[in-house]
Amino acid sequence: MSVFDTLLSDCSSHTMASEEPEVGLFIPERAEMYRNSTEVKMSQIVLPCHANHRGELSVGQLLKWMDSTACLSAERHAGCSCITASVDDIHFEHTIGVGQVVNIKAKVNRAFNSSMEVGIMVSCEDLFANRQWKVCNAFATFVARHTDEGKVQLKQVMPQTQEEQTEYSVAAERRRMRLLHTEIMKDLLGNGPKGDDCQDFDDAVPSERTRVESVELVLPPHANHQVNTFGGQIMAWMENVATIAASRLCNAHPTLRTIDMFHFRAPSQVGDRVVLKAIVNNAFKNSMEVGVCAEAYRGRETPRHINSAFMTFEVLDAEGNPRNLPRIKPEPLDGPRRYREAIARKKIRLDRKYIISCKQTEVPLSVPWEPSNQVYLSYNNVSALKMLAARTNWVLTSEKNKVNLYTLEENQVLCFKVETHVDIAAKRVFALLSDLTRRKEWDRHYKHCEMINQVDEEDAIYHVITPSVSKTNKGQDFILLASCRTPCNSGDPYLIALRSVTLPTHPPTEDYIRGEIFCAGFSILEVSSMVCKVSYYNQASPGVLPYISNDIAGLSSGFYNSFCSCSKFLEENKESRATADSTAF
């Protein structure tokens, strides 16, 4: 794993990175207002020296500023030097012009042993029009460097607000996704098309024409006080050669839209020669993928791999709409492989952007499940439940024998929570409730439940049949993805997240009305060794409302009866040897 120390370069004369409370540009901040202790802000006026030929801020320069701000935040939390390990996907929503102000805010979302996730938010401000807008957000992973005392053990982040609690909770799921990223990519690329699908068009541009190679000498201004090259500087050099490669394909000025998740794999230092190579891998109708590689060497050393990245460019017309692009003709030997892999990466890119990057309310109730998007659906499933559980404005609707029903209504969406305590170890409760095939033993709404796909140790897909609640006398059925998570740290709950997916092997039938669940599941929090708090959440969809409307209106005690049955089921099975202290799949 390559990593780079990232601090503010002394050569930037316009940097204003603040680590003390200040007057904010968007929200006035007073001394008595809460401010995250790891929060760092940077504001930059875009000058002509920062811009490209279109008068827009160079993305490479923006990446340097983002990396510097994030590193300062990480070092503020760690109390020692930190190095950039990876950066998640970045989607650039808008460009930034000369004379406008770039505002960057970074804060540590969560710490894991010696690594931490830093959230970065970039916005643009037009001082003359008095308006501001979001440019992008990103998540970077930093690692604390070893000190003279040995390996650094980071202190835990203590979230204070609902927003911080949400980011803290979801950060664990993002970390899981990062750890699986390389394996997912290998599997998808290995199972991708292997035929000769590179059609030969007369007007195609040979990919060899787009090849770029450039060398940079690492000088002291490019490095930090430990003489390691800034991670942001490496990213800026990579963006530069990628832009040249994209320009050679379209003979126009391209706009960078997306940088895929990447990891630094080796360091470089002052005196190194950094060789950057770029080539267009594939061109689609309105976008192209450029692959970039960075290697470093000194003297006659064998070049060492620093980083590889894939960037997506568009070419905009006068109205700002993407233009059609020329076709690409892969070069012999390695070209067809890169051509096909670009197609597979585009599929992954669309899945990630569609399922992960968009707002929770913009994701359809039921998304087609397939192995290539499993990790992203699982992330969306767990993060949606964590975000729902982190809400603080629940309203207590009813209370009966320590079983509480809460509701939350926002933006015409009704959510409910049922909560109680049981005198059973949280680990045992998690093991029992994570087996959905046993839910019919205590939940009258589960008539039948069958596991139809054991995805991995933590995720499975079930077919659930519920009794009829309509005049048609037809029951409902659901195809549910169940994602089960054990605590990442002490104080975290066990989670069982549920959401609807679609499977081609199980289409809707005439026998049942196909229902859908957007977000539901259990949170099981350990109170003591033999007591835990069990909370059930559900973001009510039209298919679920008929089952809960009477309870919410106070006309029945269905929730209470179900939780009493659940408590009885847990009590009767807490000593069962047939149930392991782990998930059921």
CA dist 61 → 49, 118, 443, 481, 585 (Å):
10, 19, 57, 42, 47
Tell me the CB-side half-sphere exposure of residue 581, using CA atoms within 13 A. 7
What is the structure's pLDDT at 349?
Answer: 77
Q: In the structure, what pLDDT confidence band is assigned to residue 51 with cuts at 50, 70 and 90?
A: very high
Q: What is the CA radius of gyration of the chain?
A: 26
- Would you say residue 16 has pLDDT above 50? no
Confidence of residue 551 (pLDDT cuts 50, 70, 90): low
pLDDT score at 356: 61
512 phi/psi in degrees, rounded to 5: -135, 155
Residues in a beta bridge with 206: 329
Handedness of CA 376, 427, 560, 466 (dihedral sign): positive
Instruction: Report whether pLDDT(536) > 70.
Output: yes
* H/E segment holding residue 244: helix 231-250
Q: pLDDT tens, 464-474?
A: 998 876 666 78
Answer for the pair 273, 215: CB distance below 8 angstroms, yes or no: yes
CA distance 308 to 374: 24
pLDDT at residue 181 in the model: 73
Mean pLDDT across 404-430: 89
At residue 364 the predicted structure's pLDDT band, cuts being 50, 70 and 90, is low
pLDDT of 12 strictly over 50: no
pLDDT tops 60 at residue 585: no
Q: What is the pLDDT of residue 109?
A: 96
The pair of structure tokens assigned to 49 is 């020296």
* C-alpha dist (Å) from residue 379 to 374, 385, 473: 8, 10, 36
- Reported as a single tens digit per residue, the pLDDT across 368-401 is 888 878 888 898 899 999 999 988 889 998 888 8
Predicted pLDDT at 7: 33
Sign of the dihedral defined by the CA atoms of residues 483, 484, 488, 493, in that order: positive
- 3-state helix, strand, coil split of the chain in percent (to 5) is 30, 35, 40
Average pLDDT, the chain: 84
CA distances from 377 to 40, 89, 194, 199, 372 (A): 32, 16, 26, 33, 10
Question: Cβ distance 528 to 425 under 8 Å?
Answer: no
Say whether pLDDT at 505 is over 60. Answer: yes
* Residues above pLDDT 90, as percent of the chain: 51
Look at residue 510 and tell me whether its pLDDT is greater than 80: yes
* pLDDT of 6 above 50: no
Q: CB–CB of 253/247 below 8 Å?
A: yes
Q: What is the mean predicted confidence (pLDDT) over 546-571?
A: 70
Helix residue spans in 362-479 (DSSP H): 374-389, 426-433
Q: What is the pLDDT of residues 265-292, one digit of tens each?
A: 888 999 999 999 999 999 998 999 999 9
Q: What percent of the chain has pLDDT over 70?
A: 83
Question: What pLDDT is recorded for position 54?
Answer: 84
Average pLDDT over residues 552-578: 74
Instruction: Out of 6-15, 58-67, 245-254, 279-288, pick the least confident.
Output: 6-15
Helix (H) and strand (E) counts in the chain? 8, 27
CA distance 144 to 115: 6
Q: Which residue has the tokens 């994030």?
A: 70
- In whole angstroms, how far apart are CA 304 and each of 218, 248, 266, 267, 268? 15, 27, 7, 9, 9
DSSP letter at 281 equals E
pLDDT of 161 higher than 50: yes
pLDDT digits (tens, 9 = 90+) for 240-263: 999 999 999 999 999 999 999 888
**Under 8 Å between Cβ of 125 and 103:** yes
Nearest 5°: CA angle at 107, between 411 and 258? 70
What does the pLDDT read at residue 409?
82
Distance CA 379, CA 387 (A): 12
Top mean-pLDDT range of 190-199, 329-338, 350-359 = 329-338
275 bridge partner residues: 215, 295
pLDDT of residue 24: 40
Q: How confident is the model at residue 235 (pLDDT cuts 50, 70, 90)?
A: very high
**Residue 576 pLDDT class (50, 70, 90 cuts):** low
Q: Could you report the per-residue pLDDT of 113-142, keeping only the tens digit for each?
A: 899 999 999 999 999 888 999 999 999 999
Q: Are 286 and 273 a contacting pair, CB within 8 Å?
A: no
Query: Each residue of 19-36: pLDDT tens digit?
Result: 443 434 444 454 457 889
- In 3D space, the residue among 395, 429, 419, 441 whose CA is nearest the CA of residue 529 turns out to be 429
Reported confidence tier of residue 355, pLDDT bands at 50, 70, 90:
low
Average pLDDT of the segment spanning 39-48: 96
